[in-house]
Chain A
Amino acid sequence: MNTYRADLHIHTVLSPCGDLEMSPVNILDAAKKQNIQIIGICDHNTTLQCEVIQKIAGKYDIMVLPGAEVTSREEVHCLSFFPDTDSLNNFQQYLELHIPHIPNDIDKFGYQLVVDEKENICLNYPWLLISGIDQTVDQISRKVHSLGGIFIPAHIDRPKYSLISQLGFIPPDIEADAFEISRHTTTEAMVHLAPWLKNKTFIRSSDAHYLQDIGRNFSQFHMYERSFIEIKKALNNEDGRKVTL
């Protein structure tokens, strides 16, 4: 069994709130410097920057988990990751179908750019990505799982955009592979608050919007190799694989 350092919550220049320095190459450089071996790319409500980062990550010996941080109808942030290009593209179509068509005001919210490996701008995404999509947490979780993906409610202890802030408490029957907590709390504190999370996996990640934040928080995955299946098993505590903080 091996141990890998994973930071599964990283934004790019495509998120309006992501710094302009968060280009594919810069993110990989920063992750390498921090000795992070698995990164999750999750921009707000879009997966469009994942492909380029995946394409060049091999050179860095970094595994990229492609996905998005989806904002539900209740304005709960949820990390969603996908096993392959087909499922990722399918989920991108789902996001496009459900995102409200509110134009992004660059002056107020910031740029939403897809860039290539040479940092050329490929797309200026038109709709404001930080809106809530027209789907509930449960609908999103069902969609992600129907595509074989991984569903992780983000920073559940935070006072904004979290399961707890938006829904008052963690719904006991929510179908999640794991829960992300911030550095301000502990697994024990969360289980005390919601005893039904006792056997669940918790992860910590950086939620980086700036290069210097990458790897600030990370989780350790204990598993045989870096693959989507192994990661999903570790999150679900299966076959001896597990995640520790």
Chain B
Amino acid sequence: MTIKEIAKELNLNVFCGREGLENKVTGGYVSDLLSDVMGNSEAGQAWITLQSHRNVAAIASLRELSGIILVKNNEPDEAMAKQAEEEGIPVLGTPLSAYEITGKLFQLLQG
């Protein structure tokens, strides 16, 4: 499944990084500790977090993640949006909690 299809299925807002909407999603990674994501995430995963610092976009790019899903109505701050745009990393958003959106994404990818 692509990020674009997931955004449609799960009603996610697309904030920026549209260039990467066709990225293939191979799984998910849920963490708000950026050092953890840097060390343990795998390429192709969608990253579910509430952090909206610009380092989120940098680490997503470094780890070749398929996209970022910000939970609980968080939005990328200006610096993060700029970096995500430059790196072509799609940043999506949902009003749901990490628990809820993770459950939905898991179901969708398993199905």
**B residues with CB within 8 A of A:** 33-35, 37-38, 51, 53-55, 58-59, 77, 79
Contact = CB atoms under 8 A, between A and B. Distances in A.
A159 B79 CA distance: 25
Closest 6 CB pairs of A and B: A168-B34, A168-B38, A167-B55, A165-B35, A167-B34, A168-B59
Contacts of A137: 53
Contacts of A134: none
A138 B79 CA distance: 10
Given A74-B51, A171-B54, A171-B55, A166 B33 contact: yes
A196 interface: no
A166 B77 contact: no
Contacts of A74: 51, 53
The B contact surface, by secondary structure, is: helix
B79 to A, nearest CB: 8
A134 to B, nearest CB: 12
Contact of B77 (A136, A164, A165): A136
Contact of A136 (B34, B35, B38, B53): B53
A168 B77 contact: no
A138 B54 CA distance: 11
B53 A169 contact: no
A140 to B, nearest CB: 13
A138 B53 CA distance: 9
A187 to B, nearest CB: 21
B28 to A, nearest CB: 18
B31 to A, nearest CB: 10
Interface in A122-153: 136-138
A169 B38 contact: yes
Residue picked from B35, B54, B79, most chain A C-beta under 10 Å: B35
